[in-house]
């Protein structure tokens, strides 16, 4: 029986559907792990296919391609460390979320995920069969239990592995980020360690996939609950861990424990990584956005530069007669601070042209939100024209508060391919903006220092679609609005309980009504980074036609 085992933790970034590309990443990381002297290298959940593959799993050709590629990879491995990796795997007319052990030129063992999550963003019961309770696999003479992601969120699978002789637990994960998730994961792993008496290596995916972003943050927890190794968040990493057999079991020798960013820093890096991977994996050369002089577009511009570099970001100011000189000044200052291409394209002629075309039908009516929305839609049309001509993707800049209550214009400021701040409330936009001015995130491609001018942060927010307009003309202050929205959206609180927090009953009822009415707009909005426990879309699935209103 070996007294030492060297396990390389491969915190890697997969692309859904790019089976050959993901296999190439595995091959490269395995070669590096071999140079480190690893006995085995461990990849995250469903790494071969990317996670989540969703209904691709229902395509027999996709499943067959994944199995074929794994077997070809196994046959080509030669000498070196064994590989534990996640993949889809067919067996007896069913398809499983699986982990395969590859060694000695072959797939030596397969284990299936037992507990398939079917809540929030997860829909695994739709495409996978649940596996039987697993036993450990033999890795170079050591019995390794491999509970897959959700399998460690309850006690049963780990208990089964401990009872069937597992000596070390390695948990491959595809665990998406939200504000509270890092602490939740650690608490879950502590519980499993305490119950089983076994150490756990937690290996998590990193990278963006559509609206989800995976933060990595892999770690090892010893049987005494001490932290053996902590990998960084938000970046790929390959770390060799050394394990020794002691009298009371296996222990990971203490290694580097990276301090993880929390709160605003973690949320900011989530938005940047989600945007970067969406652009890269979609194949866009860069992005463009309307830079209005307001805080939302300024924060998105900063995130875009940090994600892609200033050379791949283009900003366009699209002023109309209601655009203030302060907004023109602030937008230019923001673009200059970020070092990005900046152009001013007035929309006066475009709005006049559309207005003239509509004049026969609008004659005799009073100006209202229709004319305001025309400004936004002309801006959206101009941005999309630039996107079509030069290939860059339009990023949208609406925050969660606006998306919640419908204060965004379809086919106008909602135009675009991706929205990095879609899941940030307005108050969080302010908080992240101040954080970014005080911090240069690790790996950011933008400049240090104040990149969002203080004047943008301190001025009263306004869409500037009519004279002297402010957001608070028709909305409560954002600290009030966001608290009500958090109660309604994240927590599904009864209206009476929200009112008990000190909010006016008529305000709460009005905001509830606006949230329901805006569902049809949100269904047509661009995807955006999920960072809350309940984002619009994957987490919160409400009907568009909905006449329910809660009485108070």
- DSSP per-residue letters across 113-140: --S---STT--GGGT-PPPPPP--EEET
- Shared domain check, 270 and 230: no
Give per-residue pLDDT as tens, 121-137.
Answer: 889 999 999 999 999 99
Please indicate, yes or no, if residue 506 is contained in any of the structural domains: no
Measure the CA–CA gap between 32 and 36, rounded to whole angstroms: 6
Of the listed ranges 170-184, 319-333, 369-383, 456-470, the one predicted with least confidence: 456-470
pLDDT at 398: 93
Asked whether residue 180 is assigned to any structural domain, the reply reads yes
Binding-site residues from annotation for L-glutamine: 119, 175, 181
Residue ranges at the known binding site for deamido-NAD(+): 373, 402, 521
> Which of 156-160, 196-200, 544-548 shows the lowest per-residue confidence on average (mean pLDDT)?
544-548
Helical (H) or strand (E) element with 316: strand 313-317
Asked whether the whole model's pTM tops 0.85, one would answer: yes
pLDDT given at position 469: 63
Q: What is the pLDDT of residue 473?
A: 63
For position 552, what pLDDT does the model report?
60
275 token code pair:
């945007």
Residue 467 pLDDT grade (very low, low, confident, very high; cuts 50, 70, 90): confident
With respect to residue 94, please indicate whether it lies within any of the assigned structural domains: yes
Whether residue 246 sits in one domain with residue 276: no
What CATH number should be reported for the domain holding residue 77?
3.60.110.10
Q: Are residues 272 and 383 in the same domain?
A: yes
Q: Which is the catalytic residue, given 6, 45, 281, 422? A: 45
Q: What is the CATH number of the domain that holds 329?
A: 3.40.50.620
Average pLDDT over residues 110-114: 97
For residue range 74-91, list pLDDT tens digits in order: 999 889 999 999 999 999
Q: Which domain holds residue 144?
A: 4-260
Q: Do 284 and 255 share a domain, yes or no?
A: no
Binding-site sequence positions for ATP: 290-297, 397
pLDDT of residue 540: 87
110 occurs within a structural domain: yes
Last residue of a domain, one of 245, 260, 275: 260
> Considering 235, 260, 285, which residue would you say is the last residue of a domain?
260
Residue numbering of the annotated binding site:
119, 175, 181, 290-297, 373, 397, 402, 521
As for how many domains the chain has, the answer is 2
Q: Are residues 232 and 330 located together in one domain of the fold?
A: no
Could you say which of 422, 455, 470 is where a domain stops?
A: 470
More confident residue, 418 or 471: 418
Q: Say whether both 449 and 462 belong to one domain.
A: yes
Catalytic residue among 6, 67, 124, 149: 149
255 lies in the same domain as 277 = no
- The reported pLDDT for the residue numbered 212 is 95
Has residue 441 got a pLDDT over 90? Answer: yes
Same domain, 111 and 165: yes
Cα separation, 247 vs 150, whole angstroms = 31
Distance CA 191, CA 189 (A): 5
Catalytic annotation present for 94? no
CA distance 78 to 98: 23
pLDDT tier at 471 (50, 70, 90 boundaries)? Answer: low
108 in catalytic set? no
Domain annotation covers residue 511: no
Q: What is the mean pLDDT of the chain?
A: 94
* 550 and 197 Cβ atoms separated by less than 8 Å: no
CB 474 within 8 A of CB 521: no
Dihedral angle over CA of 31, 33, 34, 35, nearest 10:
90
Determine the 3-state secondary structure of 487 from DSSP: helix
CA-nearest of 25, 42, 80 to 219 is 42
Residues 187 and 297 in one domain: no
Is 529 within the bounds of a domain? no
pLDDT over 90 (residue 522): yes
What gap in Å lies between CA 439 and CA 306, rounded to an integer?
12
Residue 523 lies in a domain: no
Do residues 252 and 280 share a domain?
no
179 shares its domain with 240: yes
Say what the pLDDT of residue 521 is: 94
Q: Would you place residue 417 in the very low, low, confident or very high pLDDT band (cuts 50, 70, 90)? A: very high
Q: Is 45 marked active-site?
A: yes
Range of weakest confidence among 349-358, 446-455, 459-468, 527-536? 459-468
């Amino acid at each position: 029986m070996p007294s030492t085992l060297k396990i390389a933790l491969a915190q890697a970034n997969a692309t859904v559907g790019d089976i050959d590309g993901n296999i190439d990443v595995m091959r490269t990381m395995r070669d590096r792990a071999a140079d480190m002297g690893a006995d085995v290298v461990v990849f995250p959940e469903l790494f071969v296919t990317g996670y989540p593959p969703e209904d691709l799993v229902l395509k027999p050709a996709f499943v067959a391609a994944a199995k074929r590629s794994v077997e070809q990879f196994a046959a080509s491995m030669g000498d070196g460390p064994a590989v534990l990796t996640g993949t889809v795997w067919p067996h007896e007319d069913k398809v499983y979320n699986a982990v395969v052990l590859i060694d000695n030129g072959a797939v030596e063992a397969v284990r299936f995920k037992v507990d398939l999550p079917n809540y929030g963003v997860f829909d695994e019961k739709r495409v996978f069969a649940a596996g039987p309770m697993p036993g450990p696999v033999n890795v170079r003479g050591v019995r390794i239990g491999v509970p897959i992601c959700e399998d460690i969120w309850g006690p049963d699978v780990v208990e089964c592995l401990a009872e069937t002789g597992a000596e070390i637990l390695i948990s491959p994960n595809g665990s998406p980020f939200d504000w509270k998730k890092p602490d939740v994961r650690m608490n879950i792993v502590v519980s499993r360690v305490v119950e089983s008496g076994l150490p756990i290596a937690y290996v998590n995916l990193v990278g963006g996939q559509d609206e989800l972003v995976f933060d990595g943050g892999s770690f090892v927890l010893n049987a005494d609950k001490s932290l053996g190794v902590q990998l960084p968040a938000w970046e790929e990493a390959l770390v060799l861990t050394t394990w020794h057999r002691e009298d009371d079991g296996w222990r990971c020798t203490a290694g580097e424990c990276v301090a993880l960013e929390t709160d605003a820093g973690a949320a900011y890096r989530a938005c940047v990584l989600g945007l970067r991977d969406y652009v890269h994996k979609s194949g866009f050369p860069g992005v463009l956005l309307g830079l209005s002089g307001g805080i939302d577009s300024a924060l998105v511009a900063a995130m875009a530069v940090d994600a892609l570099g200033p050379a791949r970001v283009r900003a366009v100011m699209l002023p109309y007669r209601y655009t203030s000189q302060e907004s023109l000044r602030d937008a230019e200052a923001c673009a200059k601070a970020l070092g990005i291409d900046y152009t001013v394209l007035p929309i006066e002629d475009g709005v006049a042209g559309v207005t003239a075309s509509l004049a026969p039908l609008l004659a005799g009516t009073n100006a209202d939100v229709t004319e305001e929305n025309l400004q936004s839609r002309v801006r959206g049309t101009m941005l999309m024209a630039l996107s079509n001509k030069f290939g860059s993707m339009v990023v949208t800049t609406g925050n969660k508060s606006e998306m919640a209550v419908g204060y965004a214009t379809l086919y106008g400021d909602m135009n675009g391919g991706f929205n990095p701040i879609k899941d940030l409330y307005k108050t969080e936009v302010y908080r992240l903006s101040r954080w970014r001015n005080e911090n240069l995130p690790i790996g950011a491609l933008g400049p240090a220092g104040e990149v969002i001018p203080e004047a943008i942060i301190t001025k009263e927010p306004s869409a500037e679609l009519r004279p002297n307009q402010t957001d608070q003309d028709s909305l409560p202050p954002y600290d009030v609005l966001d608290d009500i929205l958090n109660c309604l959206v994240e927590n599904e609180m009864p209206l009476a309980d929200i009112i008990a927090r000190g909010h006016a009953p008529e305000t709460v009822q009005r905001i509830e009504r606006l949230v329901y009415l805006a569902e049809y707009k949100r269904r047509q909005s661009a995807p955006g980074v999920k960072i809350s426990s309940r984002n619009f879309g994957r987490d919160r699935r409400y009907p568009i036609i909905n006449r329910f209103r809660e009485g108070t």
